[in-house]
Amino acid sequence: MIEVNDLKKEYIEEDTTTRALRGVTFKIDRGEFVSIMGPSGSGKSTLLHILSFLDRPTGGSYKFLGKSIDDMNDRELAHVRNKDMGFVFQSFNLLSRLTVYDNVEIPLLYSDIIPRERKKLIEDAVIAVGLEEKLHIETGKLSGGQKQRVAIARALVTDPNIIFADEPTGNLDSESGLQVMEILESLHDKGRTVVLVTHETQTAEFANRIIKIKDGLIESDKTITTNRDHCSGQLK
């Protein structure tokens, strides 16, 4: 699904060049759950922005679903991003005065899906995160954990090929964070591809594979094969 080779990203400001990524190479197959870990300034956020088409690299190559992003213009990138990618952010990015239903509907507003089918997609996505009883409640009245579950439903509603989660537990208490990670884990168990960016070890260990980044380079890339029981665990 994802193939990056010798990926580089430099930022130039006045006479200063910052090398955020110094040559990163890896592949992510369909159906994987991958955590990208690293301390602040490691390059993990820059990498996520490139993988999710929010930025372009300054060197190397990136193929998504077999097609190089160099062969796509900004409009084509935006189309693939809206169609094939779902996003979950640390800050939720919800409209607090809109209901759960209305927030989840937003990615579908510019689609040609008829209203009846759109309604079912929204309801199914909300049911998937266990918030069907909150469907017509304003999101501003929900807890932090419930807001993040709305954000996951919004990411699911377009049936994307991949879900990118950027520090999804960063603004949550341990119990709410655990619930959010269990939802992401269950989505992976159903065949979803999930790429998670986090600095939290216990959060990262929900994945089947952990890529650690330091100073713009891959420090390690390991598959997790041990059985894990998170039900009684706490996220830190």
**Residue 232 pLDDT greater than 50, yes or no:** no
Q: Which of 54, 63, 31 is nearest to 166 (CA)?
A: 54
Domains of the chain, by residue range, sit at 30-56+78-226
CATH fold label, 30-56+78-226: Rossmann fold (3.40.50)
Q: What is the pLDDT of residues 184-227, one digit of tens each?
A: 999 999 999 999 999 889 999 999 999 999 999 999 999 987 54
Q: Mean pLDDT of all residues in the chain?
A: 91
Q: Measured between alpha carbons, how far apart are the two ends of the chain, in Å?
A: 31
> Radius of gyration (Cα) for the chain, nearest Å?
18
- Write out the E strands in 29-92: 33-37, 59-64, 67-68, 85-89
Report the pLDDT averaged over residues 21-49. Answer: 95
In order of 86, 91, 122, the CA distances from 83 in angstroms are: 8, 22, 15
Taking CA 86 as the corner, what is the angle to CA 184 and CA 162, rounded to the nearest 5 degrees? Answer: 70
Q: Model-level pTM?
A: 0.89
Backbone region of residue 10 per phi and psi (left: phi > 0; alpha: psi in -120 to 50; beta: other values): beta
pLDDT of residue 231: 45
| Nearest in space to 167 (alpha carbons), one of 92, 63, 57, 64 | 92
144-156 and 174-189 are packed helices; what angle lies between their axes, rounded to 10 degrees? 20
Q: According to the model, what pLDDT value does residue 236 have?
A: 42
- Is residue 115 classed as helix, strand or coil in its secondary structure? helix
| Spatial separation of the C-alpha atoms in residues 63 and 32, rounded to whole Å | 16
